[in-house]
Amino acid sequence: MIQLAVLALSLMAFAAHGAPSVRVDLAGEWHYLPGDDLAYARPEWDDSNWGRLPLPRQTEPSWGNYWLRRHIAVPTEASGVPLALTLGAFAEVYEVWCNGIRIGDTGGTAADQVLSARPRTFNIPPSLVTSGSGLLVALRIRLPELGQGAFPRSVRALPDRGPYLLTDATNAPVDAAPLYLLLRERLVTVGFVSSALRALLILMLLAAWLTETNRRDLLALALLLAADFTVRFFESLNVVQDASRSAFIWQARVSVLTGSVLGWFALEVFRIRARWPYLAIWLPSILALMLPSARFLVGGSTVAILLLSLRQAFPPRPIERMTMALSVAALTLLHSQRVGPLVMTNLYWAAGGYLFHLYDVLSILLTAGMTLQLLLSLGADRREKERLTSEMEAARTVQNLLLTPPPASDAYQTAAVYLPATQVGGDFYWTRVEPDGALLVVVGDVSGKGLRAAMLVSVAVGILRNEKSDSPAAILGALNDGLTGHTGGGFVTCCCARFDAGGGVTIANAGHPSPYCDGREVEVAAGLPLGVVAGVAYEESVVGGERFTLVSDGVVEAENAQRELFGFDRTREISTKSAQDIAEAAQSWGQNDDITVVTVRRTA
């Protein structure tokens, strides 16, 4: 559409080629003065002491209001010819005055202006122009005050290419504005490409975080890129759509929050867990959202977090930490250029017909590098977990070899079920048939879970295998002496029973749940848990019965969704069932610990 408009306007200009030609080049220095006083439009106003501002301008426009003035000598050939004043894209909102008379404006206000920076042509009323006389052109520029909202940086940085001309109306450069708009739309291509790269990195990081939800640094970087994507993508989109300035206000708020997310990411990368840095990064953002002029505090807070992060950039992994610290440093300074103290710095450059910004280029490079580093770290963590999983599986295999099925006995039928809460557990059982036909049964529970508890189980089973006595009290005493000093501050509960071939049952207990006999709980001395104090003597109790059940506390302490324990009463009620049924009942109730059940039933 823009190309068609350029062609049509060019044809119109060609049709009027025969009209008298007037051309005065107004490029060069204009008188410049900040402020907003309508008296500056009067021709007689003395502007000799004003500053000078060259047009076309190659720097970003100023904040606030200012005036530009230019004295023009009207050529004699302009007599009776309608004149036009053409001005380049030096500002969005301004008024044009000629010889003290307002002849036009760009429309809109500084508070809610349209992104309409483009060359414009204004017709000059013939009554204001006298051949051979002077013409005073005054421009009243009205830009938002510092801190009054986001500015479309990509538009602001587009070089002003002019033209600045006084011409006859028929020969005004009517194609200047469409060509400028075409160039403006092309420059945001880089913004869309960088946004697409950010979106890809965001998806990669979120996918990685979903597999490792404890890695908050992955989530922080994904949110940082998401905030940056939001600002950059919609900024570019609004430029193409020529949106009003109000469309950028919410993007300014997102930019402010981006600074805090950047600080949060730095804290997560360097494992900083103190509370005050989090207050330092989020409080300025809250203030900036309430007071737009306070947004420069965000840059200061991120610099503070940067310095704190650099202090952490040393061993144990100096190269990796230093690389990450430098990345955070660069992003912090670049973000300060977007919303912080360096906001007025122009970091754009043109190449190949496109406009690039240092923030976009380094942000993509650095975040891609950090994403790669985090993903490599995630891969290393995953390999470490796989190694630990393999070791746990090996430990489980060893534990299963230690917990051998109960041996056959002429007088008793024995069954055992072991359900660890994790891959390996801290429960154990051990059985042995004596030469006289007696059956020894031991059920124990190591405090804690996991590999450490499993290793202590192997120590306990090793002691049992080497123990020659068939006395439950002596067996517990040997276990206690062997474990004392090796539990790492923990303890082991244990119940040992000897089932004589003639029917008598002798039981000794070391802090373990009492066994059940024919549906009732057997009263035995509790005894001190193993591994706490050496040299403990344990008591033995002699009982009689037909069916015995020994359980670990994982049965009675099973807990359902309502936080209700399985309890001793339910355990007692099902104690006459098979070991498998008892273990499954506790597990279905809600397993939160290792479950061990051993049942012994007299058959002779």
Q: What is the mean pLDDT of residues 501-521?
A: 93
- pLDDT for the residue numbered 319: 56
Q: In this structure, what DSSP letter does residue 175 have?
A: T
* Interior/surface letters 420-454, b for 16+ CB within 10 angstroms, e for the rest: bbebbbbbbbbbbbeeeebbbbbbbbbbbbbbbbb
Least confident of 291-295, 458-462, 509-513, 526-530: 291-295
Q: What tokens appear for 53 in the block?
A: 């501002």
Does residue 554 have a pLDDT over 60? yes
> In 10 A of CB 251, how many CB atoms?
20
pLDDT confidence bin for 142, thresholds 50/70/90? confident
pLDDT for 255 beyond 90: no
**513 token code pair:** 């749940």
For residues 308-325, average pLDDT: 54
Confidence of residue 154 (pLDDT cuts 50, 70, 90): very low
For the ranges 77-91, 495-509, 545-559, the lowest mean pLDDT is seen at 77-91
Q: How far apart are CA 202 and CA 221, in angstroms?
A: 8
pLDDT at 147: 42
Q: How many CB atoms lie within 10 A of CB 502?
A: 10
Average pLDDT over residues 101-110: 78
| Residue 511 phi, psi dihedral angles, 5° rounding | 70, 15
Query: Residue type at 560?
Result: N
What pLDDT score does 18 carry?
A: 47
Does this model's pTM top 0.75? Answer: no
pLDDT number for residue 281? 67
Q: Max Cα separation, the chain?
A: 138
pLDDT at 517 over 60: yes
pLDDT band at 301 (very low <50, low <70, confident <90, very high): low
Q: Give exposure, 361-372, as e/b (b: 16+ Cβ within 10 Å).
A: ebbbebbbebbe
Q: What rounded mean pLDDT belongs to the chain? A: 78
Range of weakest confidence among 144-153, 358-367, 474-483, 556-565:
144-153
If you average pLDDT over each of 75-84, 116-125, 500-509, which comes out highest? 500-509
- Classified as helix, coil or strand, 142 is strand
Indicate the fold that domain 404-602 takes in CATH.
Answer: Phosphatase 2c; domain 1 (3.60.40)
Tokens of 320: 């990796």
Give me the mean pLDDT over the 172-177 stretch. 85
In this structure, the strands spanning 547-551 and 516-517 are antiparallel
pLDDT tier, 2 (very low <50, low <70, confident <90, very high otherwise): very low
Distance between CA atoms of residues 462 and 401, nearest Å: 12
Residue 486 CA: distances (Å) to CA of 396, 451, 455, 528, 531: 21, 15, 10, 16, 7
Where are the chain's structural domains? 2-184, 188-380, 404-602
Rounded-to-integer distance, Cα 518 and Cα 575, Å: 8
| For residues 324-334, average pLDDT | 58
Q: Which of 11-20, 268-277, 520-529, 589-598 has the lowest mean pLDDT?
A: 11-20
Q: Is the pLDDT of residue 8 over 60?
A: no
Q: Which long-range contacts (CB under 8 A, 24 or more apart) does 394-397 make?
A: 395/423, 395/424, 395/451, 395/454, 395/455, 396/420, 396/423, 396/424, 396/454
From residue 210, give the alpha-carbon distance in Å to each of 124, 363, 379. 65, 24, 14
Q: What CA–CA distance (Å, rounded) separates 466 from 478?
A: 10
Bridge-based pairing state of the strands 65-73 and 28-34: antiparallel
Q: Whole-angstrom distance between the N-terminal and C-terminal Cα of the chain?
A: 102
Check: CB of residue 66 under 8 Å from CB of residue 37.
no
Tokens of 547: 């069916």
Which residue do the tokens 């399985």 mark? 566
53-63 pLDDT tens trace: 999 876 655 66
Determine the pLDDT at residue 268.
72
What gap in Å lies between CA 254 and CA 176, rounded to an integer? 35
Q: Is the pLDDT of residue 511 over 60?
A: yes
Residue 22: pLDDT over 80: yes
Amino acid in the structure at residue 571: T
Q: What share of the chain is helix, strand, coil (3-state, %, to 5)?
A: 45, 20, 35
Helix (H/G/I), strand (E/B), else coil: 369: helix
Which of 155-159, 236-240, 425-429 is the least confident region?
A: 155-159
Q: What is the pLDDT of residue 81?
A: 83
Q: How many C-beta atoms lie closer than 10 Å to residue 147's C-beta?
A: 16
Alpha carbon 576 to its chain centroid, in Å, reads 55
What would the mean pLDDT of 468-493 be, rounded to a whole number? 91
Comparing 124-138, 274-288, 422-436, the range with the smallest average pLDDT is: 274-288
If one compares 386 and 52, the residue with the highest pLDDT of the two is 52
How would DSSP label each residue in 482-494?
A: HHTT-STT--EEE
Are 2-184 and 404-602 equal in CATH topology?
no
Which pLDDT band holds residue 178 (cuts at 50, 70, 90)? Answer: confident
Amino acid 165: pLDDT: 92
Per CATH, the architecture of 2-184 is what? Answer: Sandwich (2.60)
pLDDT band of residue 96 (cuts 50, 70, 90) is: very high
